[in-house]
């Protein structure tokens, strides 16, 4: 099998493991939302967000450096391993010294205990990372995907079982710890990397220099994506944060199951096209994304009430209203998602970093200004911020690559328009109780079927030619990937 075929096969298994993890985590998340109280659930979500931030310093930088090196050097890898052990130990210590006291005095003793218990997760991830990287370099992605899936599955089972036994918020914490430990143990056993005693620290400056900009970019990206979450948690309390967290969970799964696979196709396509065809290729990619992602985003928003009721329970009705509002961000998500890769593909990583800075600044300013008016105002401000940043990002991209917001709009407006009409129609049918169905499962099924019928009918009646053109391009790309995987080994 050629290197290209190995890379594509490896990407397939990574994406499959990610998809499996997302589905399992969503199911566990839904079960926990039903079992736990709103305040308790919000505390856990805040604790997990804190640990997710701490993980950035462990999971970013070193693995990329090890993968991009021409040859595997066990001394260099061992030095990287011990650096990670030092960093993860320091992070665990900072969690105890800073995060735990803040949680204790800001929220409750329970919040402090939960964060303290989660300090083991960065240590497990740090211990595992070099072993995982060695498997990735050896194209053992199938095994790695299995270990990831095993950790997620066992951790999910532990969370559900302990929750049913009455452990409350601790059930999720137990599951996350078990997931990290199981994945770490399996990966380390199967990897042939074994850390050695380091005889020289000459490579330490290289490790630090390579990791610093990647950590900085991940740091900014984390806060640009989580600003509204942080603002809600800090100013509106754990219960309010829980409602926002549940509302965003559905979109998080959609992002990971749709945008991530398409993003890999996008980077490969944009990197190989010449400058003259860059705008055309970008337009095709956002068009393919809009065809499938826009109706899903708007569809979830339209059926938010029965969806939330079925999946999470009727105590999360507030989340349903938030979900309907957040769906309005769909056009911005579709058009702007690939802009960082667009810039990176042209050798402009610093400009890609500026996109994250734009996100961070605007997504912080507007929701923060809306805090006095409550949760709904913060969510509306987040939607408005996404449209403002869309224009600002494309202004930057147009200055460097000549691709503006209208280039994206020309390829997506028909799918966005069809999705908006579908959204409005289904939302009206739901709120006016047109079908008058007493069973929420039947209501949800009827609304989903109605939405799919409306969206498909609009495309076939008004945008048939363009729709078939986009679907044909997607079919061609899949055929090219399949042909690449089936390439024989070159002599």
Query: Percentage of the chain with pLDDT > 70?
Result: 87
How confident is the model at residue 423, as a pLDDT? 97
CB 49 within 8 A of CB 223: no
3-state helix, strand, coil in the chain (%, to 5): 85, 0, 15
**Torsion over CA: 265, 266, 271, 272 (sign):** positive
Which of 360, 346, 345, 347 minimizes the C-alpha distance to 393? 360
Which of 287, 298, 235 minimizes the C-alpha distance to 451? 298
Question: 185 and 318: one domain?
Answer: no
Quick check: is 238 in a domain? yes
Quick check: is 202 in a domain? no
Number of domains in the chain: 2
Q: Bigger pLDDT: 374 or 16?
A: 374
How confident is the model at residue 2, as a pLDDT? 46
CB 324 within 8 A of CB 427: yes
Residue 484 has pLDDT above 60, yes or no: no
Residue given tokens 């919000």 in the structure block: 42
Question: 226 and 192: one domain?
Answer: no
Confidence band (pLDDT; 50, 70, 90) for 262?
low
Question: 148 and 235: one domain?
Answer: no
CB 304 within 8 A of CB 320: yes
CB neighbour list of residue 71: distance below 8 Å, 6 or more residues apart: none
Backbone angle region of 119, left / alpha / beta, with phi > 0 → left and psi within -120 to 50 → alpha = alpha
Question: What is the token pair recorded at 436?
Answer: 């008058």
Residue-number span of the structural domain to which 425 is assigned: 222-481
State how far Cα 216 lies from the chain centre: 18
How confident is the model at residue 55, as a pLDDT? 78
Question: 188 and 67: one domain?
Answer: yes
Question: 67 and 20: one domain?
Answer: yes
Question: 169 and 239: one domain?
Answer: no
Q: What is the pLDDT of residues 218-229, one digit of tens each?
A: 778 788 778 888
Question: What is the token pair recorded at 347?
Answer: 């050798």
Q: Is 146 exposed, middle or buried (0-12, 13-18, 19+ CB in 10 A)?
A: middle
Question: 94 and 138: one domain?
Answer: yes
Residue 391 has pLDDT above 90, yes or no: yes
Question: 309 and 439: one domain?
Answer: yes
How confident is the model at residue 488, as a pLDDT? 45
Helices in 138-169 by DSSP H: which ranges? 141-164
How confident is the model at residue 369, as a pLDDT? 95
Quick check: is 327 in a domain? yes
Question: 186 and 303: one domain?
Answer: no
Q: What is the pLDDT of residues 418-438, one digit of tens each?
A: 999 999 999 999 999 999 888
**Alpha-carbon distance 328 to 50, whole Å?**
28
Question: 273 and 338: one domain?
Answer: yes
Backbone angle region of 166, left / alpha / beta, with phi > 0 → left and psi within -120 to 50 → alpha = left
Residue 210 has pLDDT above 70, yes or no: yes
Quick check: is 2 in a domain? yes
Question: 145 and 262: one domain?
Answer: no
Quick check: is 352 in a domain? yes
Give the torsion through C-alpha atoms of 235, 364, 387, 369, to 10 deg: 50
Give the torsion through C-alpha atoms of 274, 276, 281, 283, to 10 deg: 150
* CA-to-CA separations, 134 to 103, 124, 143, 409, 431, in angstroms, rounded: 37, 16, 12, 42, 54
Residue 284 has pLDDT above 70, yes or no: yes
- Average pLDDT rounded to a whole number, residues 291-308: 92
How confident is the model at residue 10, as a pLDDT? 45
Length of the chain (residues): 491
Confidence band (pLDDT; 50, 70, 90) for 269?
low
* CA-to-CA separations, 15 to 8, 9, 104, 261, 348, in angstroms, rounded: 10, 10, 38, 7, 26
Quick check: is 111 in a domain? yes
Quick check: is 211 in a domain? no
Question: 157 and 227: one domain?
Answer: no
Quick check: is 214 in a domain? no
């Amino acid at each position: 099998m050629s290197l290209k075929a190995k890379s594509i096969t490896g990407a397939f298994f990574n994406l499959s493991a990610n998809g499996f993890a997302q589905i399992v985590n969503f199911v566990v998340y839904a079960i926990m939302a039903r079992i736990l109280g709103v305040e308790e659930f919000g505390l856990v979500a805040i604790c997990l967000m804190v640990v997710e931030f701490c993980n950035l310093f462990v999971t970013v930088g070193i693995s990329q450096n090890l993968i991009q090196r021409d040859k595997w050097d066990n001394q260099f890898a061992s030095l990287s391993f011990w650096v990670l052990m030092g960093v993860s130990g320091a992070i665990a210590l900072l969690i105890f010294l800073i995060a735990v006291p803040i949680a204790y005095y800001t929220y409750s003793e329970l919040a402090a205990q939960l964060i303290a218990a989660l300090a083991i997760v960065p240590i497990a991830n740090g211990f595992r990372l070099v072993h995982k990287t060695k498997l990735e370099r050896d194209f053992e992605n199938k095994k790695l995907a299995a270990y990831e899936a095993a950790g997620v599955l066992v951790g999910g089972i532990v969370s559900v079982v302990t929750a049913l036994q009455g452990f409350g918020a601790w059930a999720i914490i137990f599951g996350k710890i078990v997931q990290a430990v199981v994945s770490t143990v399996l990966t380390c056993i199967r990897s042939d990397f074994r850390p050695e005693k380091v005889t020289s620290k000459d490579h330490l400056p290289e490790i630090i220099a390579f990791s610093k900009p990647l950590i900085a970019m991940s740091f900014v990206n984390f806060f640009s994506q989580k600003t509204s979450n942080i603002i809600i948690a800090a100013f509106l309390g754990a219960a309010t944060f829980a409602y926002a967290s549940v509302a965003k969970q559905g979109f998080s799964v959609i992002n990971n199951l749709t945008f991530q696979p398409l993003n890999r196709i996008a980077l490969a396509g944009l990197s190989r096209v010449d400058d003259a065809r860059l705008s055309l290729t970008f337009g095709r990619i956002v068009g393919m994304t809009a065809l499938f992602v826009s109706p899903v985003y708007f569809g979830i928003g339209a059926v938010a009430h029965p969806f939330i009721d079925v999946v999470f329970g009727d105590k999360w009705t507030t989340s349903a209203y938030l979900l309907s509002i957040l769906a309005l961000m769909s056009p911005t998500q579709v058009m702007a998602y690939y802009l960082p890769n667009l810039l990176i593909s042209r050798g402009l990583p610093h400009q890609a970093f500026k996109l994250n800075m734009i996100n961070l600044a605007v997504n912080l300013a507007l929701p923060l200004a809306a805090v006095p008016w409550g949760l709904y105002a913060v969510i509306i401000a987040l939607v408005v911020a996404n449209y403002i940043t869309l224009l600002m990002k494309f202004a930057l991209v147009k200055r460097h690559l000549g691709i503006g917001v209208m280039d994206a709009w020309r390829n997506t407006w028909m799918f966005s328009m069809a999705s908006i009409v579908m959204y409005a129609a289904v939302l009206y049918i739901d709120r006016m109780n047109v079908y008058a169905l007493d069973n929420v499962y039947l209501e949800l099924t009827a609304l989903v079927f109605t939405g799919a019928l409306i969206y498909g009918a609009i495309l076939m009646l008004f945008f048939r030619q363009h729709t078939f053109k986009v679907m044909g391009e997607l079919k061609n790309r899949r055929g090219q990937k399949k042909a690449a995987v089936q390439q024989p080994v070159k002599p």
